[in-house]
Amino acid sequence: MPKLSAASRHSVSFTVNGVARSVEVESRTLLTDALRHGLGMTGTHVGCEHGVCGSCTVAIDGTMARACLTLAVAAEGCDIRTVEGLGLGPGRLGVLQAAFKRHHALQCGFCTAGILMSLDTYLRRHPDPSREELTLVIGGHLCRCTGYAPIVAAALDAAAELRGAQKHPEETAHA
């Protein structure tokens, strides 16, 4: 990484949801702020800015990460995925999102983006998870509205549907 100066701004380039983006930041700018205020991608939320609540979780190079504990300059060249990239297209929810909707797995929706990103990342690597495993993943997030039970149910349902979808890829478009 090039040596950065605290006094100047730096152009950082990465891909977000598959699209190449550049944003000008200070060396101290958090990835949350770069996404939200630099790129206008306000779906990633800021709940605590000390890494506990998980609202800001995004996937960086396929690994879930707290965007509030990540410097934007550290994401140079990375592949970032955010909640804005989970849908199948404008107005079309992905499997996990649709399961959340069916199960009433959100109320205010503020923590939801982070939980979706953790589950999406996890399910890509662990397509057949147990309830306990999913509870642990969701346990890395704070939700104050739902009491978590419908989130766990939605995650299990989505995992099952995604497993089915893998066998019948032509059906994914209808998920």
Partner 1 sequence: MGIQGEQFIRPSVERVEDATLLSGGGRYIDDLGTRPGTLHAAIVRSPHAHADLLAIDKAAALTLPGVVAVITGSDLLDITTGLVPALRVSVDARAIAVDRVRYVGEPVAIVLAADRYRAEDGADLVTVRYRGRPAVVDPEAALIPDAPVLHGDVGSNLMSDRSFAYGDPDGAFSTALHSLAVTVRYPRNTGSPMECYGVVAEYDPHEDAYDVLANFQGPFSIHAVIARALKVPGNRLRLRTPPDSGGSFGVKQGVAPYAVLMAAAARVVGRPVKWVEDRLEHLAGSVSATNRVTILTAAFDAEGRVAALDWDQLEDCGAYLRAPEPATLYRMHGNMTGAYAISHVRIRNRVVLTNKLPTGLVRGFGGPQVYYPLERLMQRIARHLGLDPLDVIRRNLIPADAFPYRTATGALYDSGDYRQALDIAVGDGGLSALLGRRDAARAEGRIYGIGFTAAVEPSVSNMGYITAVLTPAERAKAGPKNGAQSTATITLDPVGTVTVQVASVPQGQGHRTVLAGIVADIFGIPPAQVRVTTDLDTAKDAWSIASGNYSSRFAAAVAGVAHLAATRLRDKLARIAAAQLNLKAEDLVFAGGRVSSRTNPDAFLPFARVAATSHWSPGLVPDDVGSAIRETAFWTPPELTAPDAEDHVASSLCHGFIFDFCGVEVDRATGKLRIDRYVTMHDCGVILHPGMVEGQVRGGFVQALGAAVYEELVYGEDGAFLSGTLADYLLPTATEVPDLRILHFTSPSPFTPLGAKGVGEGNCMSTPVCLANAVADALDLDTLDLPLTPAKLRALVAEADEVPPPAGHRPATPAAKPGDRTLRGAGATVVAAAPEAVWALLLDPDVLASVIPGAHGVKKLSDTHFTADVTLGVGPVKGRYAADITLSDLDPPRGATLTGTVSGGLGDGGGTGRVTLEPDGSGGTRIGYTYEAAVGGKVAAVGGRLLDGAARVVIGGFFAALARRAGGTGQPGLMRRLLARVLASTGVRP
- The yes or no reply on residue 118 touching partner 1 (CB under 8 A) is no
- The yes or no reply on residue 136 touching partner 1 (CB under 8 A) is yes
Q: Which long-range contacts (CB under 8 A, 24 or more apart) does 41-46 make?
A: 41/16, 41/82, 41/84, 43/82, 43/83, 43/84, 43/113, 44/82, 44/83, 44/113, 44/114, 45/110, 45/111, 45/113, 45/114
What would the x/- binding string for partner 1 be over residues 56 to 85, using CB under 8 A?
--------------------------xxx-
The minimum distance between CB 34 and partner 1, in angstroms, equals: 12
Among residues 12, 14, 29, 67, the one that binds partner 1 under rule CB under 8 A: 29
Nearest to 2 by CA among 103, 82, 51, 10: 10
Among residues 10, 21, 43, 160, the one that binds partner 1 under rule CB under 8 A: 43
The minimum distance between CB 167 and partner 1, in angstroms, equals: 23
Nearest to 121 by CA among 150, 90, 81: 81
- The yes or no reply on residue 31 touching partner 1 (CB under 8 A) is no
DSSP for residue 103: T
The footprint of partner 1 on this chain (CB under 8 A) covers a number of residues equal to 60
- The yes or no reply on residue 4 touching partner 1 (CB under 8 A) is no
- The yes or no reply on residue 93 touching partner 1 (CB under 8 A) is yes
